[in-house]
Structure 1
Amino acid sequence: MRSPCASCVSPGVVKVLIEPLSNQLAKGQLDFIAECLHGQESGVMATVFKVSGEIIAKVASRLFLKPDGTVISNIEDELLVQQILVDVQQVLNQGESRVKSYILPSGIAGVFLEVIHPIVPLVVFGAGHDAIPVVNLAKHQGWHVTVVDNRPGYITFERFPNADQIIFSEPQTIQNHLDLNSRTVAIVMTHRYESDLALLRTLLPSSVSYIGILGPKSRTQRLLQDLKSEGFLPKDTQLQRLYAPVGLDIGADSPEAIALSIVAEIQAVLANRSGGMLRARFGSIHGEEITCLMSV
């Protein structure tokens, strides 16, 4: 059995829809989710979880907006499908799941619009002792973690058993081994000035969405100044993706706490949040009311 949605309809109340799941239906859903998770683009799965009146749509019927723009639907009400199609594109652009109520002449339908994002690809440059808790914590987040270093004794799966990939590479040749796309987030923590300088030469012009640099702000300013002296003048849009010193200000002074600070900042950036305290936030913690998939 699979519960496709749990809608928080009011504080303290959760309604859960449980549906029987056939092999064919399960395969379609899992194939769609896998395509989104392992691809480069997000998709949206719209699930009808509530109907009232004479509406034709059935509970648990779905519409899929695939990463390539293809739409697959078994929702029988065409008017409902038309309205959902407008909203799935909107939630895809915003990157946030939400619940929508559609008022039609024939009745009302509640639909969960769930954005399925690709797995976050994190690249950690530097295989020092302080990189180990970063890799472990990021993996617990469900991210795909790659560690890159040019020291054979450091870049091993024995040191990084939770890494998905380890790459032995010089800083100057990382583009030969990595797909640095707009979904990629990167942390530079080699503790070697020349290595960090070489990495920035490649990372800043790339499409990487987040570049975190370990170390004091003055060190990063020196790195940027050295790049300028070489004739490389980073654009404002490139510098906006640069987070230095990397991490949130949580008073971290141990490798584990620093790792928490770094991973928390990346999560905040990916979610377009400031990383502040929740008690200072007004309204819902999750923005709009959302529904979560769960297995039972």
Structure 2
Amino acid sequence: MSTPLIFIDGDQGTTGLQIHQRLRHRTDLQLLRLDPRFRKDPHHRAEAINACDLAILCLPDDAAREAVASIHNPSVRVIDASSAHRTQAGWTYGFAEMGSAQAQAIRTATRVSNPGCYPTGAIGLLRPLLQAGLLPVDYPISINAVSGYSGKGRAGVDEYEGENATQAPPFQVYGLGLAHKHVPEIAQHSGLLHRPVFVPAYGAFRQGIVLTIPLQLHLLKASAQQLHQCLADHYAGQRHVSVMPLADSKALALLDPQVLNGTDDLRLMVFEHGQHVLLAAVFDNLGKGAAGAAVQNLNLMINQTP
């Protein structure tokens, strides 16, 4: 079998740079790179994408759609790291641990949409519980999440590390219109009947995410132990997703969004007190939330260890 040729379209952005750094020394694949003069030239980019075996798109949504529309070579496979195709028919959702058949679906797909960073944590927590019937599909879900500023892309990095960094706020809640682009993705792939309320924020740290979902047990027909066991059973044996034992969660006094930085891991937790349960996820928004997931999907698609 020939060595697959990989083209990263947008390898100068936050996610694209991370993916390139992960792949540049690998000997089981080749990287196709454009001359810097032609990175924004539609003709040269179209030539490159049609010459590769697999393209990884690290582009704004509209540019990702244009890149896909430029493909005329039927053998080209695509991983799209934008949000352009995450809820679109014909695209395989690139969350390998989402279900028992998902990794194989990714392995054989021609079009894979990489999950968003926040949806990775939200879907990772919600989907197993909804599928098991422990959480009603019409439950009024609220999601709160704080990401490092790199989640905003190059603009966020410039805001906090550039020449005006002293003016950057230590904490900022955004998405106040309650119409964040991740909401349809979370609802569709978790299996919710209604759109959740999603409140995202950025903190004055470079990377890492803490995402939490509060639940009222009196609205459920399940205990905290049952919720935890469902998650533990679903992710048993997974390399990149773990569920913290209840006793360990109980001993925690705080959640550090940066604790898994530099890894491709997603850690899920269940906290309880009385009739209240808090589901929580911690992971690196540049790892499992972006570049790590893209490389995991790439490895599946070229039949390497994910």
Q: Is TM more than 0.5 here? A: no
Q: TM-score scaled by structure 1?
A: 0.34
Q: TM-score scaled by structure 2?
A: 0.33
Higher relative strand content: 1
Higher relative helix content: 2
